[in-house]
C-alpha cells in the first residue's frame, strides 16, 4: 500500500475550499430571494397604481410595452386547470427549496434556487392575497415584449423572469457537471478515466517485462552457441592428434638407429 496520499481536489466528495460549511450558501440563497421578491412586489404595486384602465405604455423604442393584465393562469399565461392547484404547486416548490437549501455547497446553485424561490413566492403572494379569493387570486402581469396585448409573447412579470432565469442557470450548471453540493462530476469522470488508462499502461509494461525475463536465457543466447562447444572439442582433439604424430615421427629414426 502506498503511504502517500494525494491532496483533496474539487472533484472529491468534500469540495475543496468549502470546509463543509453551508450557512453562507443559505444566506446567499435567502438574500437573492428577498431582493428579487421585493422587486417583484414593488413593481406589481406600481403597475397596478399606474396602469389600471390605461392604454399600453410604449418604452425602449417599442421593444417593451407596459400593460396591466390580471392572470388567473401560470407563468406566461399557461393554463394548468385551476388557480388553487397552481397555488399548491408554488407552496410545494417553496417547501422543497427551503428543505434543499441546507445541502447547498455551490454559489451558482444558491443563486439559481434563490431566483426560483423569489418567483414562486411572488406569484404565490398574488394568488393568496389578491381578488377574487384566497388561493384563487389573479397574478399581476405588466410586461409585453415586441408588441402590446401579448401579441408576440405572453405578458409576464418580474417573478416569471426570475423563475425562468433561475431554471436556466440550474440547467446550465447541471450540463456543465456542477452539482449542488459543489462537486464537479465531469472532472471526476475524467480523472477516473485517466487513472484507468495509467493502470492499463502499467499492466502492459509489467507483462512485457515479465515476458522478457521468462524468455531471457533462450532469447539472449545466440542460436549457434550450442554448436560452438563441439567445434572447439573437435579442434582440440585434432591438435592433440597432430602432436602425437609429430612425436612419433621424431622417435622413429632413433629406434631405427
Active-site amino acid positions = 141, 160
Check if the beta carbon of residue 136 is closer than 8 Å to that of residue 73.
no
**Cα–Cα distance for residue pair 250/127, rounded to 1 Å:** 137
Check if the beta carbon of residue 208 is closer than 8 Å to that of residue 42.
no
Check if the beta carbon of residue 183 is closer than 8 Å to that of residue 13.
yes
Cα distances from 154 to residues 51, 151, 200, 218, in angstroms, run: 17, 7, 57, 84
SS3 67: strand
What's 174-240 look like in SS3?
Answer: HHCCECCCCCEHHHHHHHHHHHHHHHHHHHHHHHHHHHHHHCHHHHHCCCCHHHHHHHHHHHHHHHH
Cα distances from 224 to residues 78, 227, 228, 236, in angstroms, run: 91, 6, 7, 19
Task: Point out which residues pair with 159 in neighbouring strands.
Answer: none
Check if the beta carbon of residue 131 is closer than 8 Å to that of residue 48.
no
Amino acid at each position: 500500500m502506498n503511504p502517500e496520499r494525494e491532496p483533496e481536489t474539487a472533484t472529491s466528495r468534500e469540495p475543496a475550499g468549502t470546509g463543509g460549511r453551508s450557512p453562507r450558501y443559505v444566506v446567499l440563497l435567502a438574500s437573492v430571494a428577498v431582493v428579487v421578491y421585493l422587486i417583484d412586489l414593488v413593481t406589481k404595486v406600481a403597475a397596478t397604481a399606474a396602469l389600471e384602465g390605461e392604454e399600453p405604455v410604449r418604452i425602449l423604442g417599442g421593444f417593451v410595452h407596459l400593460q396591466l393584465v390580471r392572470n388567473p393562469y401560470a407563468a406566461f399565461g399557461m393554463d394548468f386547470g385551476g388557480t388553487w392547484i397552481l397555488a399548491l404547486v408554488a407552496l410545494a416548490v417553496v417547501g422543497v427549496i427551503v428543505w434543499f437549501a441546507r445541502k447547498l455547497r455551490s454559489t451558482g446553485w444558491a443563486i439559481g434556487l434563490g431566483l426560483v424561490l423569489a418567483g414562486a413566492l411572488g406569484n404565490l403572494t398574488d394568488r393568496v392575497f389578491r381578488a377574487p379569493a384566497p388561493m384563487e387570486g389573479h397574478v399581476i402581469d405588466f410586461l409585453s415584449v415586441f408588441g402590446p396585448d401579448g401579441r408576440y409573447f405572453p405578458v409576464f412579470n418580474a417573478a416569471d423572469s426570475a423563475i425562468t432565469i433561475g431554471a436556466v442557470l440550474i440547467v446550465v450548471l447541471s450540463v456543465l457537471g456542477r452539482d449542488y453540493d459543489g462537486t464537479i462530476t465531469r472532472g471526476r469522470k475524467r480523472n477516473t478515466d485517466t487513472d484507468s488508462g495509467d493502470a492499463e499502461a502499467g499492466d502492459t509494461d509489467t507483462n512485457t517485462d515479465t515476458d522478457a525475463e521468462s524468455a531471457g536465457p533462450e532469447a539472449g543466447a545466440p542460436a549457434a552457441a550450442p554448436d560452438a562447444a563441439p567445434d572447439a572439442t573437435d579442434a582440440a582433439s585434432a591438435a592433440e592428434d597432430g602432436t602425437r604424430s609429430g612425436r612419433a615421427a621424431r622417435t622413429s629414426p632413433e629406434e631405427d638407429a
